[in-house]
Amino acid sequence: MTKIIIPHIHKIEGEAGFWAEVTKTGEIEHLKIETLKGLRQIEGILVGRRVQEVPLIVSRICGICPVVHILNACRALEKALDIEVSKDITLLRKLFLASQIIQSHTLHLFFLSLPDFFDIENDLELMRRFKKETKAALKIRDFSLEVTDIIGGRKVHPVTPKIGGFLRLPEAEDFKKVLKDYSEIMDSAQFLAKTFENLSYPEFYRETNFACLNPEKEYTFLQSSSIIINNKKETVENFYSKEIEEDLKNPPVKRVKYHGQTYMLGAIARIKNNSQFLNPTAKKLFDDFKKKNKLSDNKFFGNIYHNLFCQAVEVLHFLEESQKLMQEIVERGIKEEKTEIQIREGEGISAMEAPRGTLLDHLAIDKNGRISSCDIITPTAQFLANIEEDLKILLPTILNLSEIEKRRKIRALIRIYDPCISCAIH
Amino acid sequence: MKNKPKVAFFSLTSDEGCQFTLLDLGERFFNLLKKVELIDFSLIEETPFPQGVQIDISFIEGNPIAKNEVSLLKKIREESKLLVVVGNCAAMGGIPKIKNYQGKEKTIRYIYKEIKNIPNPEVKRVKDFVKVDFTIPGCPINGEEFLKCAEDLIAGKIPEVCQSPVCSECPKRGTKDCFLARKKICFGLIARSGCNAVCTRGELQCFGCRGLIKGAKVKNLLELLKRFEGEKEVEAKLEIFGLKDDVKEHL
């Protein structure tokens, strides 16, 4: 029996380890990803708190994607309290979430996963070798973080969001300034996309299930009443309560499965189910890549390494989306609408697309306006078991490599998923 | 490379929001890194710790919650000349500390029925485990302030600690928009500034994530706030960022 152990995997959000046992004949006896952070118990901490404090507390689940944690919890509470959100607020929320996805993807694409394709272990070396690409990646991040800042009042852990909208609304004028930089940023994004278009992705094939919000008339990411998985549509409530199951046997992380099967979320799943709604530049990149590499849909989506390319496509898509949203906001202006919260007992379930996939929040409120129960299912908790299944395909193919090479390949595959361990064990 | 100070960033259990604040500084953060020899920063490099070298400055965010984190923290202290805590979790316990006030056994049972194998220690500050040389406060830290402090620390100086209240940076001070004028709980009068009053500018009250200033008139303010919203509510708001313990120590 040979053991393959990687005690600490860096360059992911949070920290994880890998552990496997392989027999002499090359069969995998055990294989698992271990999460190495402590449980902060954010769900338990929310119980008993006033609903107004939820955005502030829930954002601390994750330092890279606080926006989606805030927005989805707010939406679950709005459903519970029967609060309608105005069109202006919805536009701002879409832009807010798009900015989060762009900055998170760009960080992962360039700083976390790209180095694996060149056996680079330190990003400072990556930056020395890829000067132009570094500039482009930083520019795109600066741009999207600026949008996050304008709407949220801060880049990490925004302060302005509240149930029903925002404590302080941005000025439509602020977006005019940002829009001026758009074409330059789009050039940078297209330049960076080329890097990912030309990468040589490892050969890989395994079929899995792909879940995301159900697209109705557009590339859905903020809200939808249903979730699509393998062309099957389920209401968010059904998906949450009947289709998936949380495995509580290996705390602190809850591994989630769909009818006992693993499934995938995030960029690759969204593009699988939404590609017809991609914005033009993003769509062209996606179509050209498949054509150039002579890949059928089946082959493209069977290769998990393409998740990285899908993130590059989404960076373009959400930049184009942001431009449209900002133009609409500038034209319409932003009207202040007072939403009064009428406290009452209730519960709400909401699903939203986080950078890494569908985030589910189930929150209940008691008659005094305090949280009485809380369940938050993050994308990483949902796809963790899917990584393990892919690793079971990878492992037998790399057994003859040196120890260093083996570890490199394992780490690279895990990082393709862009797992967020802080989210997974919140 | 020889003369560059050796610097490391460590993340204990946390949301890593302070590390992301650094990365979000973009080019300016990477320019700072050019002045140092980077020993550890798990978001951008792969080398495992410890490397058996003496580190000049270690920055630490988060709380020791997972089972090996207390010994990791002690090892970091051993290997570092200066240990600097960054952020509200490491400095004051942070949002995870709310469970201490709820009764931690109760909190975890909201999430898991079977809790045998889950470490559930009382959440404590880094300084409750090891000696801390300097603190950069906030949830998350202010990137600008970090850059300034880091420049000083790299030059071998301990930076000055800002002792003016958040109100001194708040544009609402003395106006009818001041939360106190609106009879709402706000700890701006006793809380450390340096954040450019980012919360109150965003219409959110200050809940004191950066800790108390020296000589804060805590009692006076809390008496006033209790009259606005009642003692229970004041206590609840003091819990959010762990200010409650600092207040207890202060009074």
Q: Which pLDDT tens digit goes with each residue over A112-142?
A: 999 999 999 999 999 999 999 999 999 999 9
For chain A positions 228-267, those within 8 Å of chain B (CB to CB) are: 248, 251-252
Q: Which pLDDT tens digit goes with each residue over B69-104?
A: 999 999 999 999 999 999 999 999 999 999 999 998
**B241 to chain A, closest Cα gap in Å:** 10
Return the H-helix or E-strand segment holding A44: helix A42-46
CB proximity A419 to B under 8 Å: no
Dist. CA A379–CA A397, nearest whole Å: 28
Does the structure show a pLDDT above 70 at B2? no
- Find the closest chain A residue to B107 by CA distance: A44
**pLDDT averaged over every residue in chain A:** 96
Q: Which pLDDT tens digit goes with each residue over A70-128?
A: 999 999 999 999 999 999 999 999 999 999 999 999 999 999 999 999 999 999 999 99
Q: Do B140 and A36 touch (CB under 8 A)?
A: no
Q: Rounded to a whole number, what is the largest CA-CA distance in chain A? A: 68
**pLDDT over 90, % of chain A:** 92
| Cβ-based contacts under 8 A for chains A and B | 181
CB proximity A280 to B under 8 Å: no
pLDDT at position B113 is 81
* C-alpha dihedral sign at B115, B116, B117, B121: positive
Return the H-helix or E-strand segment holding A162: strand A161-162
Mean pLDDT of A306-313: 98
Q: Do A111 and B23 touch (CB under 8 A)?
A: yes
Dist. CA A227–CA A352, nearest whole Å: 10
**B229 to chain A, closest Cα gap in Å:** 13
pLDDT at position A337 is 79
Mean pLDDT of B26-47: 95
**A396 to chain B, closest Cα gap in Å:** 24
Does the structure show a pLDDT above 80 at A350? yes
Does the structure show a pLDDT above 90 at B117? no
Question: Whose structure tokens read 């299944």?
Answer: A389
* C-alpha dihedral sign at A194, A195, A196, A200: positive
Q: Do A39 and B119 touch (CB under 8 A)?
A: yes
Q: What is the reported pTM?
A: 0.97
Q: Do B201 and A66 touch (CB under 8 A)?
A: no
Q: Are A387 and A266 in contact (CB under 8 A)?
A: no
Q: Do A15 and B42 touch (CB under 8 A)?
A: yes
CB proximity A370 to B under 8 Å: no
Facing residue for B24 by CB, picked from A127, A155, A168: A155
| Cβ atoms within 10 Å of B101's Cβ, excluding its own | 18
Q: Do B107 and A252 touch (CB under 8 A)?
A: no
Q: For residue B1, name the pLDDT band (cuts at 50, 70, 90).
A: very low
Dist. CA A392–CA A398, nearest whole Å: 11
B5: which DSSP letter? P
Facing residue for A111 by CB, picked from B14, B44, B112: B44
Which residues of chain B make contact with A14, given a CB cutoff of 8 A? 16
Which residues of chain A make contact with B207, given a CB cutoff of 8 A? 56
Pairing of strands A357-365, A371-377: antiparallel
What is the Rg, in whole angstroms, of the alpha carbon atoms belonging to chain A?
21
Dist. CA B63–CA A344, nearest whole Å: 36
Q: Which pLDDT tens digit goes with each residue over A215-269?
A: 889 999 999 999 999 889 999 999 999 999 988 777 788 899 999 999 999 999 9
One-letter identity of residue A8: H
Mean pLDDT of A315-327: 98
A242: which DSSP letter? I
* C-alpha dihedral sign at A192, A137, A280, A271: positive
Which residues of chain A make contact with B204, given a CB cutoff of 8 A? 56, 153, 159-160, 167
